[in-house]
Amino acid sequence: MVEPQAAPAVPAHLTSRMTLAVRFCETDLMGIVHHANYLTYFEAGRVDWLHRRGISYDKWVEKGIHLPVVEAKLRYKKAARFDEILVVETTCVDITRVTVRFGYRILRGGDVLCEGETLLACVGQDLAPKRIPPDIDAVFRSPETT
């Protein structure tokens, strides 16, 4: 499991944080957030990470650049419950010519509820692999601009 906070090569400016409230529909009969929803929290964190660098992901989609998730790992530590305010901490931890890796921590106050990572691959509209364009590569290395 990647532990972004321990990776010396990842500068602090590659981490961003957003908050979200747990929705009722995201709970299950155990009374806690269903585990599949954390992948959507990670995704929301990633979209927000880009927003904070001036990028709307749908602009890339319009240009035919997609970044599907090709690998995901999650480690669940504590349960989240309905209406709790969570922080999604998203870090761009690695970038290659064709992939970019993000690490995540879902926090409630000082508690880490879940941590994980996703590997995204750059593909075109036809889902074939594609080199990450230089302007997009630059975004993944940049600090928040807003």
- Residues near a second copy (CB under 8 A) are 1, 21, 23-25, 27-32, 34-37, 39-40, 43-44, 47, 56-58, 61, 66, 68-77, 79, 81-83, 127
Of 13 and 71, CB closest to a second copy: 71
Q: How far is CA 116 from the centre of its chain?
A: 9
Per-residue tokens: 131: 């080199």
Amino acid at the residue 130: K
CB of 100 to a second copy, least distance (A): 15
H-assigned helices in 65-124: none
Are 115 and 5 in contact by the 8 Å Cβ rule? The answer is no
CB of 17 to a second copy, least distance (A): 16
Of 13 and 78, CB closest to a second copy: 78
Beta bridge partners of 92: 102
Of 15 and 118, CB closest to a second copy: 118
Of 71 and 144, CB closest to a second copy: 71
Amino acid at the residue 125: Q
CB of 49 to a second copy, least distance (A): 13
Phi–psi pair at 38, nearest 5 degrees: -65, -30
Are 66 and 128 in contact by the 8 Å Cβ rule? The answer is no
